Structure 1
């Protein structure tokens, strides 16, 4: 008799249960350790594990979710959810996965072009021009960030700075993001969001009120000549934006110019209202 009042014959040994669930005993031990599927009973003397027949469905569900490359923590959420809630959690996970696959597919095509020596063909889709930008006072927010954090941090930080700009005579130009070092999944920059403002004195007072250590500041952005390529909302995603930056760099080299500062993205369009093909951003390098 077990502690649960069940005789051993009413339970399945781990071997028998593994065969019925089409899993290995090793996998069942892992699921137990992670809290995904605990045995119905563990013999205190021998350590043998026993399972109920009605646990087979949960075991098979865990195994099938693993075939979707779902992290074990997410699997726990799905199998613990009741009714349609589990299906909704699965749908959300798969939507994220399909977005990731689409991005990886585009990246793979881009890398095939680079490996086959066809990078210059891709650069030809971007028109590079120059523009002279005057000296400006800018509100800034600077931080170390990885590439997958940028889609959240950029609009949030620019939103905070644009709100501050309303206290500083309003915005005096398109907001932009400066990259002082590489931002990728392995390198965290830093990056700096910037919003030009009309009233420099008010901007300094606003930055002081935020206090030190917040990452917020104010500085003078010197006059610059920018070489830039205009891109659509769809092209802001990786790797298209990487190709755009490389196209500008190639254009600069071909004309014997020198890069004179960190690269940047200038956001001049209404991001929320823009469609995938609408121009919203300039990728640029200061040059001399």
Structure 2
């Protein structure tokens, strides 16, 4: 085959600053298909105008964008691709903020230094609430996926239960670690107990209905970065210490109350109250 507009895989790799091995990988993933493949030898040929696409892949890999996500970005028009890149980088910065907070926590713990984080502890009186709930045994690794999914299901259910009456929260009835699996209970206050009961009878889902009694919570407010396990443990510890120092008694399991839009919040935005019922 002779076509002056085509480049051999070696020549194209040199122009694109990629190895032939990487080009073969990108071809398999649909990121950068050759313009022509010799049916007899399997040899790959590329067009000069594909160099820009190849260099874009290289640049996106330099910021550690996953290959599957690069494939999506490359199929978008320019302005949409730029928006997708912005969204990806915001996720990276949030992840790094979370990781940095965890590293600081672990550094203090490993060196035996006094925990440097300061928490302001407050109390609040909470009225009796009717709540829709889902309960599951989960390890720490399973929580980040289950919590938003469960609360999302409960929010949909609340439409048939008179609407949402308060912020969602998650109750930890037992230890949740890499090895211990709770159980954990996702809760959403609703306005109409009767409508909620009828909805449950019709739907026959895994949700349940119960009454959360009135009481007092001791809590501290934390950022999205601080929600990460094991960093969040220091917030729970701070509330427990404060409760003991104030001569109060913990009367129920600990919980996380989510009062902000998680997806719209940055790593430094306050999103959650870490709380214990006290008396």
How many residues align? The count is 271
Give the one of 185, 191, 194 matched to 1:192. 185
Per-residue deviation, residues 236-269 of structure 1 (Å, max 9, x unmatched): 64366432112234556889999775421245x6
**How far apart in 2 are the matches of 1:77 and 1:93?**
12
Q: Aligned to 2:198, what secondary structure does the other structure show? A: helix
TM-score (norm 2): 0.73
**How far apart in 2 are the matches of 1:278 and 1:199?**
32
**Equivalent position of 1:104 in the other structure:** 99
Retained in 2: the 8 A contact 1:158–1:175? Answer: no
Change (3 A) 1:44 1:234: closer
Structure 1 position 151, deviation (Å): 7.0
Task: Kindly report which structure 2 residues correspond to 1:119-268, keeping only aligned pairs within 5 A, or say none.
Answer: 119-122=114-117, 125-127=119-121, 138-143=131-136, 146-149=142-145, 152-153=148-149, 156-157=152-153, 159-160=155-156, 163=159, 165-166=161-162, 176-180=169-173, 191-195=184-188, 203-209=196-202, 211-212=203-204, 214-221=205-212, 228-232=218-222, 237-238=227-228, 241-250=232-241, 262-266=253-257
Change (3 A) 1:194 1:80: closer
Retained in 1: the 8 A contact 2:158–2:196? Answer: no
**How far apart in 2 are the matches of 1:152 and 1:27?**
37
**How far apart in 2 are the matches of 1:187 and 1:17?**
53
Retained in 2: the 8 A contact 1:144–1:188? Answer: yes
Per-residue deviation, residues 135-190 of structure 1 (Å, max 9, x unmatched): 875432335773433674476356446545538xx95x875321245667998755
Retained in 1: the 8 A contact 2:26–2:32? Answer: yes
Change (3 A) 1:69 1:150: same
Structure 1 position 113, deviation (Å): 2.2
Q: Which moved more, 1:197-206 or 1:21-30?
A: 197-206
Structure number with larger C-alpha Rg:
1
